[in-house]
Structure 1
Amino acid sequence: MKKLQFYLSGFLALQLILAAGLFWREQHQQSLQQQREALLAVTPGQLQRLEISAGDDTVSLKKEGDHWLLPELHNLPVDSEKLQSLLDKIADLKAGWPVATSAASHERFEVAEDKFQKRLRFYSGGEKPVAELYVGTSPGFRKVHVRAAGDDAIYAVTLNSYEMPAQANNWLDKQLLAAGDVERITGPDYRLEKREGKWQFAEGEKKLDADKARQLAVALRSLRITKPADEVPEADPVRLQVAGSEGELEYEFMQADDRFFVRRGDREQLFELSRYDYERIADLRNEALVLEEKEEPEQTAEEKPEEEKNAAKS
């Protein structure tokens, strides 16, 4: 009996040891997870300004109301999806185990205060950043070394350096002038309307090439600018009026040598665009939109139906 009690006591002690081990392991993992999440204390929704530096370039992105703008680029809007993607990745950075922990290693990994590849400063309203991140060398595909200001530890994280450009034009919303879903287009010598889902000429009896009309609508819906224009060309504009999901819009397209420009009536700023986008919108005329009617080839005697041949004989 005593031997059985001895075995049971030993078994109970073993269970307690195993339970304690599992508890310690869980607590240790939670502690590591908390450390991993503490790499950078950034809450995207509370940020009011982001400053990115690389070499001699620095760009500021500033939040006004619900919109992020580029103060150094005519206060034009930021590509919101691109910025949100970066902020989400920064907030989700996991530290893991550091690759180095000494101050002497900062320059080698290019995350020092005076030697870095990228530096990101995050502001929540004041003049002092709430967080600062140094981005350095890359240990592999889609990986970079990073260091938070005030911490000597350097980590390898999943991030792309090209996702944080230090030039304002790379943050510009390139679809700023896109027309949305188009229902009506008035060009230099044509008027098109979408009726019951089908494109037609607004007036006249000519048949419209529906494919070309759809291509024009898609070109306006997906219109992309490349950058703000630094000068206004001396050229006669091609004007279009467009109606659709974005309301009534007026466009002016211009060409000067090998440069192409566009302006939309609700914005004073003139922008440059690609030759491709210019040509598929501004170069289109009524003649190209008319559907070419194919003439039926005249049938030879051999191709005529038997009834027609017999009628001709009689």
Structure 2
Amino acid sequence: MKLIMWLGFGLLLQCGVAALLWLNDGSDSAVTSAWQVQQSEITRLALRTQSEEAEQSVALIKSGDNWALESHPALAVDQSKVQRVLTQLSRLSMRFPETTSQASHTRFKVAQDDYALKLDLGDAGQLYVGNTPAFKQVYVRPGEGNEVYRVELNRYDLSTEIKSWLESDLLSLDEVSRIRVGDSQLIKRDESWALHKAGEELSDSLDTDSLKAALRTLETLRVGAVSQASLEVVARFEAGDDDMLSRYELARQDDQYWVRKAGIEGYWFKLSQSDFAALQSLSDPEQLLVADTPQQDTSEQTSD
């Protein structure tokens, strides 16, 4: 009888030790994340910020296999960036909340009326993004609950500026070898540029340094703020290669400078003043001519 009791006690002890080991090694993995969202469930990506100055928002919607700006569907979106954000959102791990109290939402900046960023994810629901406790970490709260979690998420990717979601090279051109304005053309042959007018090559020298600086601006042009205002065109030119030319138009309003490109009709993109000046020089190729310096005639001498 005593032997049976001792055997039973030993079995219970083994079970207890096994349970303790399991709790110690597998407690984290045993807790299911409160955020169970698949990328396919995210049918909309709307971002809204709050500040004392003004609210700012941008929304992207899924169109077939791609994403587009809801307010500007004609503009090309950087699909790789959208995919990067969707991957981050689907991998959020929310296991142990920092707090479950609704009263603490304001402190973490995830309250319904006081938040740093609000995400509307369509069928996947809403997510409030709050303060940033560490690099690439934020406090978040799923829209339906009171629990606040600390998660790995790159806040920098969640911009509410339209330009940050567009393809960065939307306006630029690669390997420009021809500029045309009316009957004037700048043409590159091998590594040399020459000005042609009415089909004839001019023998005048070009300011190649200024020309190359303007071409660098064109070839590295990045999108800025977007406007659909009706602006007066102050300069225009065509640029490209022997196969295709793209038309560019420039505008200035007050102290702001703008450019638009053929194929993206109705949209102006903001420029810096220096980029505007560089592109404007391409609209009048004859300004790039270098005036010949008259040489002194040494054969004529004046005698007293």
Q: What does residue 261 of structure 2 align with?
A: 264
The alpha-carbon deviation at position 135 of structure 1 amounts to 0.9
Residue 200 of structure 1 aligns with an amino acid whose one-letter code is: W
What is the number of equivalent residue pairs in this alignment? 271
Q: Distance in 2 between matches of 1:43 and 1:222?
A: 37
Q: Distance in 1 between matches of 2:35 and 2:175?
A: 41
Q: What does residue 70 of structure 2 align with?
A: 71
Q: Distance in 1 between matches of 2:131 and 2:34?
A: 18
Q: Distance in 2 between matches of 1:87 and 1:172?
A: 16
Residue 193 of structure 2 aligns with an amino acid whose one-letter code is: Q
Partner SS for 1:283: helix
Residue 264 of structure 1 aligns with an amino acid whose one-letter code is: K
The alpha-carbon deviation at position 184 of structure 1 amounts to 1.9
Contact kept, 8 Å, 1:52 with 1:60, in 2: the verdict is: yes
Q: Distance in 2 between matches of 1:192 and 1:130?
A: 54
Matched, 1:28 2:33: no
Contact kept, 8 Å, 2:214 with 2:281, in 1: the verdict is: no
Pick aligned residue for 1:138 from 109, 132, 135: 132
Pick aligned residue for 1:200 from 193, 202, 220: 193
Q: What does residue 310 of structure 1 align with?
A: none
Q: What does residue 105 of structure 1 align with?
A: 104
Partner SS for 2:225: strand
Q: What does residue 299 of structure 2 align with?
A: none
Q: TM (normalized to structure 1)? A: 0.67
Contact kept, 8 Å, 2:226 with 2:270, in 1: the verdict is: no
Contact kept, 8 Å, 2:119 with 2:128, in 1: the verdict is: yes
- Aligned pairs for 1:149-164 (under 5 A) are 149-164=143-158
Mind listing any 5+ residue stretches in structure 2 that lack a counterpart? 1-13, 296-304
Contact kept, 8 Å, 2:166 with 2:223, in 1: the verdict is: no
Pick aligned residue for 1:233 from 231, 234, 253: 231
Partner SS for 1:50: strand
Q: What does residue 118 of structure 1 align with?
A: 117
Q: Check 1:210–1:45 CA distance in 2 against 1; reply closer, same or farther (3 A cut).
A: farther
Contact kept, 8 Å, 1:259 with 1:272, in 2: the verdict is: no
Partner SS for 2:249: strand
Q: What does residue 179 of structure 2 align with?
A: 185
Matched, 1:217 2:211: no
State, as a whole percentage, how many aligned pairs show the same letter: 29
Q: Distance in 2 between matches of 1:44 and 1:105?
A: 30
The alpha-carbon deviation at position 145 of structure 1 amounts to 0.7
Q: What does residue 61 of structure 1 align with?
A: 60
Q: Distance in 2 between matches of 1:207 and 1:79?
A: 42
Q: What does residue 85 of structure 1 align with?
A: 84
The alpha-carbon deviation at position 247 of structure 1 amounts to 3.9
Q: Check 1:245–1:130 CA distance in 2 against 1; reply closer, same or farther (3 A cut).
A: farther
Q: Check 1:229–1:205 CA distance in 2 against 1; reply closer, same or farther (3 A cut).
A: same
Q: Distance in 2 between matches of 1:194 and 1:44?
A: 48
Q: Check 1:48–1:178 CA distance in 2 against 1; reply closer, same or farther (3 A cut).
A: farther
Deviations 1:238-282 (A, max 9, x none): 221112499431112233442323222223214142222111111
Contact kept, 8 Å, 2:49 with 2:160, in 1: the verdict is: yes
The alpha-carbon deviation at position 290 of structure 1 amounts to 4.4
Q: Check 1:46–1:207 CA distance in 2 against 1; reply closer, same or farther (3 A cut).
A: farther
Q: Check 1:188–1:25 CA distance in 2 against 1; reply closer, same or farther (3 A cut).
A: farther
Q: Distance in 1 between matches of 2:87 and 2:290?
A: 49
Q: TM (normalized to structure 2)? A: 0.69
Deviations 1:7-38 (A, max 9, x none): xxxxxxxxx99xx7999489717826x84xx4
Q: Check 1:290–1:108 CA distance in 2 against 1; reply closer, same or farther (3 A cut).
A: same
Q: Check 1:46–1:294 CA distance in 2 against 1; reply closer, same or farther (3 A cut).
A: farther
Q: What does residue 283 of structure 1 align with?
A: 281
Matched, 1:41 2:39: no
Q: CA RMSD in A?
A: 4.0
Residue 105 of structure 1 aligns with an amino acid whose one-letter code is: S
Q: Check 1:150–1:278 CA distance in 2 against 1; reply closer, same or farther (3 A cut).
A: same
Mind listing any 5+ residue stretches in structure 1 that lack a counterpart? 1-15, 124-128, 297-314
Deviations 1:64-104 (A, max 9, x none): 23442222246533344543333333233334643223444
Q: Distance in 1 between matches of 2:21 and 2:245?
A: 65
Contact kept, 8 Å, 1:199 with 1:213, in 2: the verdict is: no
